[in-house]
Amino acid sequence: MSAISTMTEGLDARTTGQRLVNQWLASLGTARERGQPVAYVFVMGNAIEILRAFGFEMVFPEINSLQTGVRKAAPDFIAQAEDFGFSPDVCSYVKADVGLMLSNMQHPSGVQMPVPDLAVASSLCNVYIKWAEIWERRFGTPAFVLDIPGKRFATWKSPAGSPQHLADARWVEGQFRDLIARCEQITGKKFDSDRLAEVEAHVNEMIRLWIEILAFNQHRPAPYNSMLDGLTYMGVLNAWRGTLEGVEYMRLLHAEIAGKVARGEGRVPHERFRLVFSGTPCYVNMRRLIELFESHGGVFAASDYLTYAAGGLDSAGLFYDTSRPLESLAEVTTLASQMGLSNHFFSHHALAQQMKDFAADGIVYHGIKSCRTVATSMADNREYVTTKHGMPTLYIESDLIDPRYWSDAQIKNRVDAFFELLEQRRNLQSIQER
């Protein structure tokens, strides 16, 4: 009997996905009671496969923080963090999490978040490491920093099996072995390579389906909005990664989207413009942001967010070799880092490619004031893409979860002007074609 079918009879994939995420959040609250060890992990670079093999319950502080935005609790948490002494310029996710700590771990979802037995902070975002240092001081949980070397320059090529790839993978594997030793210490269990292979097999299937789901949006009309529906799908991909439930969900989702494609059913009733999104959502005004675009018939067919915030495996196009689970984990993690996760710094080519693959009419850049990882060079990237490729682009700015940076009138103004620009462009092109 399917693990999720009983609870999701007749529900669409999006609603099912939301329920699954809520179910997972709720289970975090009872982890301690059930005697399960708890690990804090991040979406860009982690070792979930290893941690699942040891039976850890996974907490994603990034998801906790984005949920405070979605549930309108961020301002209070952020204010507590700033009162505590954090500079306003610090990442708003970190501040929301500090607010959670100062609120006795009582999360607005109703869950009492457990404190971690282990924190794995990857080097894909340096703030992860500073964040983990805060937990060290608050909870006494030593940080495990997982250094995953990324792309060194824009045209960096490190094909699977090349000496450079193997050198980097060897480094990552060495750290995985250290992590395994730490897990054995914490859980009292011995590392089970077969269990790791099992988890990896589930991830493989989830990723295989995810890659196809991402590609479905190349159809016209796009069956889902990558920056709205896509966020729920991705939430499940992260929270249930490597589980049977996760695989079943991706199958459900795949079937549903395939059906829409077959019926020519689009996300937007009258799709007028297809767009690529670069950056993160504004979680505190998620729906409103999308509505501003969809009201003009604009749909986000693709986004770089769905790659880097979902582990980046889709970019690597590789799957784990479950006959050599640990070595393969290191090799694939390294490739995912270099081809997907560290792309913020060199994303101009990838975005141009996405524009082509998805037959997009323009790129929307969403800059985040408190996130330097995503936004430092966005203006330069945009300038390059606009000039070199002649692509229409829009730059808007707000924050991940801090509502103080959302200015509805100003953002609407820019979005409206962008669509006027796209319309004018289309009119001119059709005149030229005559």
CA-based torsion, 76, 77, 81, 87: positive or negative: negative
375 contributes a contact to other proteins by CB under 8 A:
yes
- Residue 364 CA: distances (Å) to CA of 207, 252, 386: 26, 30, 11
Reference 412, options 425, 400, 394; nearest CA is 394
State the minimum distance, in angstroms, from the CB of residue 278 to other proteins: 13
Question: Are 80 and 102 contacting, i.e. CB atoms less than 8 angstroms apart?
Answer: yes
Cα separation values, 146 from 106, 128, 182, Å: 28, 10, 13
Residue with tokens 């991705």: 234
| Stretch of 215-223, 273-281, 351-359, 405-413 contacting other proteins, by CB under 8 A | 405-413
Q: Work out which of 165, 384, 389, 403 binds other proteins, going by CB under 8 A.
A: 384
Which of 2, 15, 185, 376 is close enough to bind other proteins by CB under 8 A? Answer: 376
Q: Which range, of 25-33, 136-144, 237-245, 253-261, touches other proteins by CB under 8 A? A: 136-144
CA-based torsion, 373, 377, 383, 388: positive or negative: negative
Structure tokens at 319: 């799957």
237, 255, 307, 314 from 212: Cα distances, Å: 14, 11, 13, 10
Kindly tell me which of 192 and 416 has the beta carbon lying closer to other proteins. 416
Region of 103-111, 133-141, 223-231, 272-280 interacting with other proteins (CB under 8 A) = 133-141
Shortest gap between Cβ of 272 and other proteins (angstroms)?
Answer: 13
- 280, 195 in Cβ contact below 8 A? no
> Of the two residues 262 and 426, which places its CB atom closer to other proteins in the complex?
426
Of residues 343 through 362, those in contact with other proteins by CB under 8 A are 344-348
Residue 137 sits in the site that holds other proteins (CB under 8 A): yes
By CB under 8 A, which span of 104-112, 128-136, 276-284, 316-324 interacts with other proteins?
Answer: 128-136
Pick 7 or 84: Cβ nearer other proteins: 84
Please select the residue that binds other proteins; options are 127, 186, 211, 244, rule is CB under 8 A: 127
Residues 288-317 binding other proteins (CB under 8 A) are: 295
6, 104, 323, 387: which one contacts other proteins (CB under 8 A)?
A: 387
Pick the binder of other proteins from 9, 33, 89, 433 (CB under 8 A). 89
Q: How far is the CB of 409 from other proteins (least distance, A)?
A: 6
Does 259 help bind other proteins (rule: CB under 8 A)? no
Euclidean distance between the first and final Cα of the chain, in Å?
A: 60
Q: What is the DSSP letter of 56?
A: P
Closest CB to other proteins among 5 and 424? 424
Under the binding rule (CB under 8 A), the answer on residue 188 touching other proteins is: no
Asked if residue 428 binds other proteins (CB under 8 A), the reply is yes
The answer to whether 79 contacts other proteins (rule: CB under 8 A) is no
Nearest residue to 334 via CA among 310, 316, 347: 316
Tell me, by CB under 8 A, how many residues bind other proteins: 76
Concatenated DSSP letters for 105-163?
Answer: TB-TTS-BPPPPSEEEEETTSHHHHHHHHHHHHHH---EEEE-----SSTT----TTSH
Span near other proteins by CB under 8 A; candidates 2-10, 144-152, 183-191, 275-283: 144-152
- In this chain, which of 220, 386, 389, 403 binds other proteins, going by CB under 8 A? 386
Q: Does 178 bind other proteins (CB under 8 A)?
A: yes
Specify the residue, 133 or 212, whose C-beta has the smaller distance to other proteins.
133
Q: Is 134 in the site for other proteins (CB under 8 A)?
A: yes
Q: How far is the CB of 298 from other proteins (least distance, A)?
A: 14
Q: Per CB under 8 A, which of residues 151..170 are in contact with other proteins?
A: 151-154, 164, 167, 170
Question: What is the per-residue DSSP string for 334-390?
Answer: HHHIIIIITGGGGTHHHHHHHHHHTT-SEEEEEEETT-HHHHTTHHHHHHHHHHHH-
Cβ distance 173 to 326 under 8 Å?
Answer: yes
Structural contact between residues 57 and 338, judged by C-beta atoms closer than 8 angstroms: no
Helix (H) or strand (E) holding 303: strand 298-303
CB of 363 to other proteins, least distance (A): 12
Phi, psi of 277 (to 5 degrees): -115, 130
Choose which of 211, 369, 389, 403 interacts with other proteins (CB under 8 A).
369
Q: Which is nearer to other proteins, 120 or 252 (CB)?
A: 120
d(CA 320, CA 332): 7
d(CA 218, CA 220) in angstroms, rounded, equals: 7
